[in-house]
Amino acid sequence: MSLVSQRLKQSKFENISHEAILSLLIATNLLKDVHNKICEERGISYQHFNILRILKGVHPNGHPRCEISARMVDRSPDITRLINKLVKDGLVKRTKSPEDRRQSVAIITQKGMDLLSGLNAKLQEFAVKFEESVGEEDLKKLIAICDRILMIK
């Protein structure tokens, strides 16, 4: 009996695809829960972390709202509200785009970089446990499988 069967208290599934999809969804929720907990310990949501991570990647430059939204792991229709909170908390600042003065660009602040450093240490601890549990070869296979899943339309 698979762990998904035990977790759902269900021994029969419509087919193997159904069981695999449910397994992926349950595993994804576990990973999200771990990430959310680590972020919440530092006073931000995982979506806020994701925005900070994106902005760190282009530091000292920034991104307009639409570019941040396109790069999010969990896309949010309310990106403006998420960025507003980060600005209010001093983790991000806004400037006008040099190319289009009507557009604002979000840039991570040093306070945001410092917060990310603390979060990244905790997330890295979890990543090490994840790799030890799954193994490098299986992780490579998992990435390849996820790539194929992402191609389904």
pLDDT, block means (10 residues), the chain with 153 residues: 77 85 92 94 93 95 91 86 95 84 89 93 94 96 94 87
The full set of domain ranges for the chain reads 45-125
Measured distance CA(57)–CA(116) in Å, rounded: 11
Contacts within 8 Å (CB) and 24+ apart, 76-83: 76/47, 79/51, 82/45, 82/47, 82/48, 82/51, 83/51
45-125: CATH number: 1.10.10.10
- State the Cα–Cα distance between residues 74 and 97, nearest whole angstrom: 25
Beta bridge partner(s), residue 104: 96
pLDDT at 34: 95
Give the model's pLDDT for residue 8.
79
Cα–Cα distances (Å) from 139 to 48, 61, 134, 135, in that order, read 26, 33, 6, 6
State the pLDDT at residue 19. Answer: 86
User: Given this model, what pLDDT does residue 31 score?
Assistant: 94
pLDDT for 13 equals: 83
